[in-house]
Chain A
Amino acid sequence: MLDQLARQIEALLVATESPVTLNRICELTGCGTESAEQAILRIEAELSSGGHAIVIARLAGGYRIVTDPDLGFIVGQLFEGKRHSRLSRASLETLAVIAYRQPATRAQVEAVRGVNSDSAMRTLLERDMIKIAGRQETPGRPLLYGTTSRFLEYFGLSNLEHLPRMDEMENLLKLSAEDIERMASELSEEESDQII
């Protein structure tokens, strides 16, 4: 049997529209961060010992109750035709560059990938995985792109720090920052030539 606090949190995680952050849980139930975390663990224990088909997902910076991924093949049938197709390799690579290097310009993405990424970027924008995050204050003021919370949710990430191999990638990007900039500026020069 779950205690009162755990029951309250469980109810929140079922009814919420988007993942509830720990802070919000504390705010709504009036408990402290630590007791909220403990209560979440108790709910999880209860769910798994009872063999329930729902689990607590940690994603997009918060928690919510979802169906067990193992049962996706059953539940997925309810949404047949509505589910998005998987992202292409080109889209995933583009998304990876933007995710780790955001805000990033298209030229920077193309510099890393070594290939035109126009259509991949468009797909990602359409699918709300990336958004325009301003303009870079360099000649031509190219658009800057960043990831959305939909991106985090789609990959089950609770925040950007939970991207795979964050430290490793950050170091690598630091080391190659100059290379990327140089290649990107070469690319944007080529582009402006084309326009003329």
Chain B
Amino acid sequence: MVNRNDRLQRNAVLSADWVVVVVYLLLMVFGWFSICGASHEIGDTDFFDFATRSGKQIVWMGLALVIGLIILLIDDQYFDQLTGLLYVLTMVLLLVTPFIAKDIKGSRSWISLGPVNLQPAEFAKCVTALAVAKMCGQYGFSLDKMRNLLKAAFIVLLPMALIIMQKETGSALVYAAFFLVFYREGMPGAFLFTAFAAVLYFVVGIRYAEVPLEGTLSTVGAFSVMTVIWLFCIGMIHIFCKQTIHAWRIFWAGIAIVGSALFFSLAVVPIDVSLAFVVVLVGTFLYLCYHALSERIIAYFYIALFTLGSLGFLYSANFALDHLQPHQKIRIQVLLGVVTDNAGAGYNVNQSMIAIGSGGFEGKGFMNGTQTKLKYVPEQDTDFIFCTVGEEQGFIGSSAVLLLFLTLILRLVYLAERQTHTYARVYGYCVLSILLFHVFINIGMVLGLTPVIGIPLPFFSYGGSSLWGFTILLFIFLRIDAGRKM
């Protein structure tokens, strides 16, 4: 019995998926060079000195490898067995953290352990992923049942709420990534689609809220969002209902009413043509409700609700924006490009775009980036680390990093899908979803595409906690995957 275990464990190290391991090592090494570039001044050569950030990162990387190795040596049964206990302990730790943590830049999320500061939120991701996997792995558990979905949502939303209490909104948002896992496991696609539609309405509606539509009294924002709602509605009827005649009727009615309103506005007197669209959409709602009742088809009702809800969302988004705190409103407007404010809210993003843009095709070369070297970009070795890649390695280097991340994520999709146990698959999806979310938000922020949310770039950003957190997260999956063959 003892001998068998020994053999299994040795094999787990040898049979860990080598593609993932290689990509993991590459990202870490590439990250280390970026930290050298970002944290040193021109002419420095003491990259290995523990007093410098690059020197420290070497130690963190070494420890990460040790942690990874240890995880591969642990029997994978323990993960399953200990999940409940770990989850409870972690939640308690998250709960007490704000009370025992020091205040660092306005957030209370770091616990001091001698020379090392640890951020429990980084490890909570991993525990939550285990908990979600365990729950989904239960026999007969399926997320297309609303009750199960609520249970799963609770497991995710609890740490999220606790982390918000530590004023680490960015880290808390990462938990939204779990909904991608839920989608894979059967959560109705409508949830994902609704979330997507809401973001689309919000971005388009606010971005063009003050751009007038030529020759009319309405704005480009409202008009285009209503066009999208109308098209979504027609599309959904077309896909989900058998009688496409309704879709065509709504289509032609919309063309007729909005078209004549546009014509009147352009030819006679400018009017607010989006009001005509409101008429079309409300009419659609009533029309669909009528058919839902008369034909007893519930889908019509849902689509009708979606249409009206979308319209309501558009108006309330505008209303909400006008009633936000001024600095929050400015942030949103800067992000959407409504206003430019390169000295204030937009400073970080503008400087980081300058850094990346100045890199050109080949980049300025290792340790030659002026933008990052001279500290124009804030947080340049943590959250804005990707700037250094962009400036020093140029388009080639930064695309390579993006492709490495894509390789890792697609490889994890492949690995997750080959698991025989639901538990293992769900955990795999948790890992890749969290990584994808981090890459999406972090690089998007540096490129000026997503909001400035302070979350690290996996395996890249300086810092032990995040590196170890991601290593544990990833290597548990590698261990589970290795165990699958035995």
Mutual binders A and B: no
B interface with A by C-beta (< 8 Å): none
